[in-house]
Amino acid sequence: MAGQLEAITIFAAVAELASFAAAARRLNRTPAAVTRAVAALEDQLRTRLFNRTTRSVALTGEGARYLEACRRLLAAYDDVRQFEPGSSAQPHGQLSVTAPDMFGRLHVMPSIATFLELYPQVDIRTLLLDRVVSLIDEGLDVGVRLGELPDSSLRAISAGHVVKGVYASPAYLARHGTPQSPLELGGHRVVSCLGVTPVPGRWTFESMTAGGTVAVTPRLVVNGTEAAAIAAASGVGLTYLVSYQADNLVRAGQLQRVLAAYSPPPIPVHIIHPAGRFLTAKVRLFIAHIVADLRRNFGRDPAGS
């Protein structure tokens, strides 16, 4: 039985990665061992599971049907393993998570910390980067994404929304007044962040009267959202941020949101995982855990935040 499960695990990895070499790297096997295991499985089943060329590996029709059965078997086997003697019926092993850097530090890491407290036999590897990471190529289990998702081989679960907006310190607004329309921004000092507004002198709003895009003259241009938030909280000027980047300073009374009626459409927050991968117990539990946490923070109407 153990040999059969190993062969099925190898087959599923090759199918998911569409590569014998990539499956070998993930499973810490030699490419030759992976090739032999799949060939032996095909001999046992008396059917071809993959169409192979020098450039590609693709499932046959029979292989695709067999893969679905294998996913169910492997997921069930992982659940059963949690109840082995000495396991205390707890999920165990390592899972890997990726998220945008600042969002990850502020909102994903606290959720990870509570999950690790709940499940002491699980270890988590995190990758916090402000670029899109391929879950399949990097061998990651779960990702947190902000923004609309392109069609892909990923499954997505909605965890709420964030929204872009204009922020300033109460002291700045007391000295220079509160703009009532984006068209008034030309008379204000502003801090532009390249991570939020790729063109420092153009800010975009959702309003016919604002004309969509408004010209601003930055007193300060920075390449990080934390720097922009700190500068605005220090009274340098108005800045344009995503809500989660300003929330802590808003709660502390150091920033205040203005022009809320002109905000662009909300930005969705999703939890993603590869559609073609069976979900182990620890991954299913983690997804449920982080979705619940993020929905508590971001499931409300973002227009009112």
Residue 100 burial (CB < 10 Å; 0-12/13-18/19+)? buried
As a whole number of angstroms, the distance between CA 70 and CA 232 comes to 54
Q: Are residues 176 and 238 in the same domain?
A: yes
Same domain flag for 154 and 100: yes
Instruction: Answer with the one of 48, 81, 114 that is the final residue of a domain.
Output: 81
Does residue 149 sit in the same domain as residue 277? yes
> Which of 29, 49, 81 lies at the terminal end of a domain, its last residue?
81
Measure the CA–CA gap between 173 and 298, rounded to whole angstroms: 27
- End of a domain among 81, 110, 129? 81
Find the domain containing 11 and state its range: 2-81
239 & 278 share domain: no
Same domain for 273 and 139, yes or no, is yes
The CATH code of the domain that includes 54 is: 1.10.10.10
User: CA quadruple 182, 187, 188, 194: dihedral positive or negative?
Assistant: positive
Is the same domain home to 46 and 173?
A: no
* SS3 call for 12: helix
Per-residue tens of pLDDT for the chain, all 305 residues? 567 888 998 998 898 888 999 889 888 899 999 999 999 999 999 999 999 887 889 999 999 888 888 877 877 776 666 555 554 557 777 889 999 999 999 999 999 999 999 999 889 999 999 888 888 777 788 999 999 887 677 889 999 999 999 999 999 999 999 999 998 998 999 999 987 877 888 888 876 455 578 889 899 999 889 999 999 999 999 999 999 999 999 999 999 999 998 888 899 999 999 876 667 788 989 999 999 999 998 986 544 44
Between CA 32 and CA 29 the distance in angstroms is: 8
Helix (H) or strand (E) holding 158, with range, is strand 154-162
Q: Alpha carbon of 6 to those of 30, 56, 68, 136, 304: distances in Å?
A: 14, 23, 16, 20, 52
In a shared domain, residues 157 and 295: yes
Query: Alpha carbon of 227 to those of 13, 100, 217, 221, 230: distances in Å?
Result: 43, 17, 18, 10, 5
Kindly state whether residues 36 and 15 are assigned to the same domain.
yes
H helix intervals, the chain: 2-17, 20-27, 31-45, 61-81, 101-103, 109-118, 135-138, 170-176, 225-233, 243-251, 281-298
Q: Are 223 and 244 part of one and the same domain?
A: yes
Q: Report how many domains make up the chain.
A: 3
